[in-house]
Amino acid sequence: MKFNKISIYFSLLISTMMFFSPANADFNDGWVAFTNEDFKTASREWKPLAEKGDAKSQTNLGILYFNGKGVLKDYKKAIFWLKKAAEQGVDGLILVCAGAGGHAGTLSPFALVREVREFFDGTIILSGSISSGSAVASSLALGADLAYLGTRFIATEEANADQGYKDMLIDSVADDIVYSSLFTGVHGNYLKGSVVNAGLDPNDLPEADKSSMNFGSGGNTDAKAWKDIWGSGQGIGSIKDSPSVQTLVDQLTSEFKEAVEDLNQKSTY
């Protein structure tokens, strides 16, 4: 399966990875403004290009609308521009839904997959809180083609993460996740325990300064996102151990098969 450069991430999530970087001079003006966090200028540069049909500008403008950066937050306009870009030959879309680790969206996968399916028949990859074989099977039942797991693989032998981070993933459940914009300026999901360890109250975090957006690490606190404040999706209740990746994949495979069998049986009701 081939994915071209246009791989749009629908969600409130934004990261530098998701935006298209420069390819031509005009587009580059918007990109320079964007990297300087001058989102107004970025949107002004990209809008005429988007209107002329430039897929990268359409994508980036759509994401700005999703996040209300440089423009008023407008979900309909975001979908409008992302659809325009998708119509130009996107092979696949990654839908980062509510409960995903890192900079997550807030939309339910039940809502988003169906909505996207209405206008897109390419490959849909679903992500957010998927940590078990049954969740992978559920993603396919929902209409996605593939599932994308992030957090689950942090608790593996091979992952180059702090042992404390892995232990906290094993010991925590969905309610131990806080959704906050404090650490990078963009909302993301984090382990409350790591927030407590940084001397903060996860149940009383201020909103980030709207003008500050730093995907790498926050300028809002001394504690640094990713290093001290540990990102995690909500699908951690099923994480009970930190096995090798091979063992985990085998386990996911057998859970997946079991879930499909279960669903087959239930479908005869």
Ligand X SMILES: Cc1cc2nc3c(=O)[nH]c(=O)nc-3n(C[C@H](O)[C@H](O)[C@H](O)COP(=O)(O)O)c2cc1C
Cα separation of 95 and 144, whole Å? Answer: 9
Strand 146-148 relative to strand 92-96: parallel, antiparallel, unpaired?
Answer: unpaired
Rounded to 5 degrees, what angle do the CA atoms 21, 57, 179 make? 75
State which residue, 155 or 205, has the beta carbon closest to ligand X: 155
Question: Other CB atoms closer than 10 Å to residue 121's CB: what's the count?
Answer: 8
Query: Could you tell me if residue 190 is left (phi over 0), alpha (psi between -120 and 50 degrees) or otherwise beta?
Result: beta
Query: E-assigned strands of 51-176?
Result: 92-96, 123-127, 146-148
Strand 123-127 relative to strand 146-148: parallel, antiparallel, unpaired?
Answer: parallel
Structure tokens at 21: 């970087």
Instruction: Please report whether residue 71 would count as binding ligand X according to CB under 6 A.
Output: no
Instruction: Please report whether residue 92 would count as binding ligand X according to CB under 6 A.
Output: no
Of 11-19, 21-29, 62-70, 117-125, which segment contacts ligand X by CB under 6 A? 11-19
The CB-of-17 to ligand X minimum distance in angstroms stands at: 5
Q: Which of 30, 102, 193, 218 binds ligand X (CB under 6 A)?
A: 102
State which residue, 59 or 151, has the beta carbon closest to ligand X: 151
Instruction: Please report whether residue 231 would count as binding ligand X according to CB under 6 A.
Output: yes
Instruction: Please report whether residue 151 would count as binding ligand X according to CB under 6 A.
Output: yes
Instruction: Please report whether residue 221 would count as binding ligand X according to CB under 6 A.
Output: no
State which residue, 41 or 123, has the beta carbon closest to ligand X: 123
Q: Which of 149, 182, 195, 205 binds ligand X (CB under 6 A)?
A: 149
Q: Report CA Rg, the chain.
A: 19
The CB-of-103 to ligand X minimum distance in angstroms stands at: 6
Evaluate whether 54 touches 47 at the Cβ level (below 8 Å): no
The count of residues interacting with ligand X (CB under 6 A) is 20
The CB-of-248 to ligand X minimum distance in angstroms stands at: 13
Residues that bind ligand X (CB under 6 A): 15, 17-18, 96, 100-102, 127-130, 148-151, 226, 231-233, 235
